Structure 1
Amino acid sequence: MTIKVSFETPYWLINFYHTITILSIAINSLGIYFIRFQSGKIDNFKYFLLWFAICNLLSDFVMFFLTQPIPLLPIWAGYIHGPFWSVFRIGTHVSSVIGSIILGQQAAALTMCFVRKYQAISKLDCQNEISNNWLICVACLTQSLVGFWVTLYYFAGIDRATALNYIKLNYPNLLEKFIELEDFQLYLKNEITSWFILAAGVMTVVFTAIIIFCTARMFGLLRNLENQVSPVHLKKHKTAVSSLIAQLFTSPVAFLPPVASGFLLSLECEHIQVISWILLAMTSCHGTINCSVMILTCPPYRTFVKNKMMSSFGKKRTELS
């Protein structure tokens, strides 16, 4: 089979990775500071939110600074350009597994934020209060699904010799180019990868179902509590729920690009390699966008930023005058 694959490193993508990682570190560090020191007394919900923010930061730093993935579509293969390989000699597959662990934790953390907020609101109504056992069960479920998914991904990898034999048989015109790569990873369409894709689908459905259930219950409880709880207290809970939903809507930035790449791969799109690079660039923006949304949708954080900006602007005007 003769196909065209570019083995030249897209340095525009590498530079984009560097830029977005620096931006992500700055914004997510600010977000972590806000959650830790500007959240006031919102019980331990802020620690779930902190877990999610740290996962956001680690995901961007690991995936787009330490790893820097370069796909070689339409072949189901790729290599990494970052320090994980160039400095620490950690291979493409292991680096991808590490990234997947953090990505899975990111999804689990966001899910648990909804669960914990639902529990906090349920405590306002004695008849619908959710116990800690329910919280622990959901946490165990999410961690089990992430663990199963990552384990399947780990075993989906094949060694270099097997990969080169496969390329020799199926893409002989590209064998030389693959041999020139110090490290790469090829994935085959087999039983393990099928289970991996199925596990990813199940994990997505379960996490989404938990979030939808918690959100519906939270809005229902808040409606019932309108005449029983002070307007200020009720507004704080509504704002927190709205912020979580806004952050949830940024998730497609991280998860849709890989799905879109798989869809285009099945359609045998001619320019899929370049498109996959663009989609990866979009994915790298997720952590930055998510944290920005969190800051903008949380009144205390938004007010803090606004006051700092107004203060800085006022000082500059005073200096100029």
Structure 2
Amino acid sequence: MYNIDFAEPLWMVNYYHFIGISSLIGNIFGIYLLIYQTKELGEFRYYLLLFQVVCTATDLNLTTFMKFLPYYPINALGTIGYCSQWFNMPTHYCMLVCLILTYYESECLALCFFQKHQKIASVIAVHVFPVYAKIIGALIFLAFPVYPMIAMQILDVGPEKQLEYIKRDFPDYYAGFSTVPHFAIYLDSPLLYSVYSVVLLTMGTIFASLVFVNTDLIRLMVRLKPQISPQNYQKHVEAIQSLIVQMLVAGLCALPLFGVAFILAFQLKNGQFIGRIMFVLWTCHSTINMISLFIFFPPYRRYLFKKLRINRRSLFQVAASSVMT
């Protein structure tokens, strides 16, 4: 019997509140910067803006509207967010929404890489993909979530039958789950583990594609440099720096998903606590992303230094005037 705590962990609830507010502020600030402070990036900033908007939607769902609580190593999740509390939305559908958003967040980042790659490739007429290849690739990426969604829908036992299922297969936890207002539980089966495998394989494939495209981008940039002005070249460099930073942060924050798969595959005794830590790490993506961009992305860094200099000047003027008076 696993030691599963069915009470709402106060530290995790407070963390969701904190990271939800900080992520929302960071994402809105990022949207503002992309619209008004990165015009030198041209139309490419709209692709970055799309990625930022999807990040905002994903974070709002994870930290505000859904708020997942794992009951690992049993394949069960609870929700304490507004969608469940106010609208009585089943946890199963909350999970599907977050799965889709997470998929498309990673795919929007891949789209940014691909668009920049093709923009540079078209200038030097190297590695330019034909239109049909782009359409096929887009359809494949859009179809990635279809299998996991269909499979999870098959595995869902429904809110009415969940307690019956637990009483039959997990009688030791029946009393605990009876106190949980919103949760979803899934039967251990090859179909369930195929879903985990497909999700992890897809995320790994997307990340590997990003690495491959980025490697080719570096080679293309070497050939591009003699053909354009230093100013235009610097714009391309800065855009690629932004993508690399966000790729590394996304890869780092996706690692908890592999941690969750490890917990479920090996039925770890302390799986619930480890799972909570994995969810905490997963939801801090946007905060880490914005901090990283302010450190490594020149347009954001220039904006920050400009504001800091203005603030320092204003403080100095106030201090000087107070001394004079």
Structure 1, unmatched stretches of 5+, are: none
Question: Deviation at 1:123?
Answer: 1.9
- In structure 1, what is the Cα distance between the partners aligned to 2:43 and 2:231? 20
Q: Within 5 Å, which residues of 2 pair with 1:171-320?
A: 171-320=170-319
- In structure 2, what is the Cα distance between the partners aligned to 1:318 and 1:151? 64
Alignment-derived partner of residue 39 in structure 1: 38
| SS state at 1:26 partner | helix
- In structure 1, what is the Cα distance between the partners aligned to 2:84 and 2:223? 55
Alignment-derived partner of residue 148 in structure 1: 147
Report if the CA contact (8 A) 1:253-1:285 is conserved.
no
Q: Which amino acid aligns with 2:139?
A: C
Q: Which amino acid aligns with 1:212?
A: V
Q: Which amino acid aligns with 2:17?
A: H
What's the TM-score once normalised by structure 1's chain length? 0.92
- In structure 1, what is the Cα distance between the partners aligned to 2:270 and 2:196? 24
Q: Which amino acid aligns with 1:119?
A: Q
- In structure 1, what is the Cα distance between the partners aligned to 2:307 and 2:274? 40
- In structure 2, what is the Cα distance between the partners aligned to 1:64 and 1:303? 30
Q: Identity over the aligned pairs, expressed in percent? A: 24
Report if the CA contact (8 A) 2:31-2:52 is conserved.
yes
What's the TM-score once normalised by structure 2's chain length? 0.91
Which digits, 9 at most, give the CA deviation of each residue in 1:13-37, with x for residues without a partner?
1111111111111111111111122
Question: Deviation at 1:94?
Answer: 0.8
Question: Deviation at 1:71?
Answer: 0.7
Structure 2, unmatched stretches of 5+, are: 321-325
Question: Deviation at 1:81?
Answer: 0.8
Q: Which amino acid aligns with 1:198?
A: S
Q: Which amino acid aligns with 1:104?
A: Y
Q: Within 5 Å, which residues of 2 pair with 1:39-118?
A: 39-118=38-117
| SS state at 1:3 partner | coil
Report if the CA contact (8 A) 2:100-2:145 is conserved.
yes
* Cα distance change of structure 1 residues 253 and 67 upon mapping to structure 2, 3 Å threshold: farther
Q: Which amino acid aligns with 1:299?
A: P
Which digits, 9 at most, give the CA deviation of each residue in 1:255-313, with x for residues without a partner?
21132133134344332212221221111111111233234332122111211122123
Which digits, 9 at most, give the CA deviation of each residue in 1:51-106, with x for residues without a partner?
11111111111111111111111211121111111111111111111111111110
* Cα distance change of structure 1 residues 283 and 201 upon mapping to structure 2, 3 Å threshold: closer
Q: Which moved more, 1:7-16 or 1:40-49?
A: 40-49
Q: Within 5 Å, which residues of 2 pair with 1:154-165?
A: 154-165=153-164
Report if the CA contact (8 A) 1:116-1:135 is conserved.
no
Question: Deviation at 1:161?
Answer: 4.4
- In structure 2, what is the Cα distance between the partners aligned to 1:143 and 1:181? 35
Report if the CA contact (8 A) 1:257-1:283 is conserved.
yes
Q: Is 1:121 the counterpart of 2:96 in the alignment?
A: no
> Could you say what the CA RMSD is over the residues aligned between the two structures, in angstroms?
2.0
Which digits, 9 at most, give the CA deviation of each residue in 1:101-126, with x for residues without a partner?
11111011011111001011112203
Q: Which amino acid aligns with 1:138?
A: G
Question: Deviation at 1:157?
Answer: 2.1
Question: Deviation at 1:151?
Answer: 3.5
Q: Which amino acid aligns with 1:106?
A: E
- In structure 2, what is the Cα distance between the partners aligned to 1:200 and 1:156? 16
| SS state at 1:78 partner | strand
